[in-house]
Amino acid sequence: MKTAPELEQQAAVHVAALMAAAARTSPKTRGIDNIRVLAIDDDEPTKQQVIAKMKEIARAENRPSLERDANNIAAAPALLVIGVESNPAGLNCGFCGQATCEALEAAKGVCAFNSIDLGIATCSAAAMAGQFHVDNRVMYSIGRACLDLRLFGDKVKQALGIPLSVTGKNPFFDRKA
């Protein structure tokens, strides 16, 4: 026999896997697959490292919202983190603010199309969670902490996190500052 909390935990982890599939299969600029996905479904040590890093950034940069987010995700049974590798599209379009992709690379910037790909993948993942009625919220703060912890390695330059919850009320909205 399983209790409701056990089933809810399993549901969140299962939906995280489906969200990863949605992010992977989302449309990408020029068909270049530069999306990377992590699921954090352990309470120790990874999730605790992310929470600690978010609180550290909050204090160091005077960003109280990161501490609020860190406290908010403590009860989340799973976090999905989606990152994008820096990979200029080779179009020399100037959307990034540089005249050429070569200039962008020299400036160590991020291609605008990489940001677009990250947004599409993240929206696809969040939509999947919504289809299964699993509460979620896109948070840049989780992505920032994962980048600082180098959970994706060196090539991923942008990331967003999505905490998941299966409770009577979505804990990621109506939050106290």
Structure confidence by residue, pLDDT tens digits, 117-161: 999 999 999 999 999 999 999 999 999 999 999 999 999 999 999
Q: For residue 177, is it within any domain?
A: no
Question: pLDDT value at position 127?
Answer: 98
Q: Please report whether residue 37 resides in a domain.
A: yes
The answer to whether residues 46 and 34 touch, using CB atoms and an 8 Å cutoff, is no
**Based on the structure, what is the number of domains in the chain?**
1
Model pLDDT, residue 171: 87
Q: How far is CA 66 from CA 42, 51, 77, 107, 177, in A?
A: 20, 9, 19, 28, 10
The CATH number linked to 118 is: 3.40.109.10
Q: In which domain, by residue range, is 114 found?
A: 4-165
Give mean pLDDT, residues 63-89.
94
pLDDT at 85 over 90: yes
> What's the chain's Rg over C-alpha atoms?
17
pLDDT digits (tens, 9 = 90+) for 24-47: 999 998 888 999 999 999 777 999
Q: How far apart are CA 94 and CA 57, in angstroms?
A: 32
The percent of residues above 70 in pLDDT, for the chain, comes to 99
76 domain residue, yes or no: yes
Average pLDDT, the chain: 94
Whether 172 maps to a domain, the answer reads no
In a domain, 78, yes or no: yes
| Residue 177 predicted with pLDDT over 90 | no
Query: Does a structural domain hold residue 176?
Result: no
Residue 170 lies in a domain: no
Mean pLDDT score, 71-86: 94
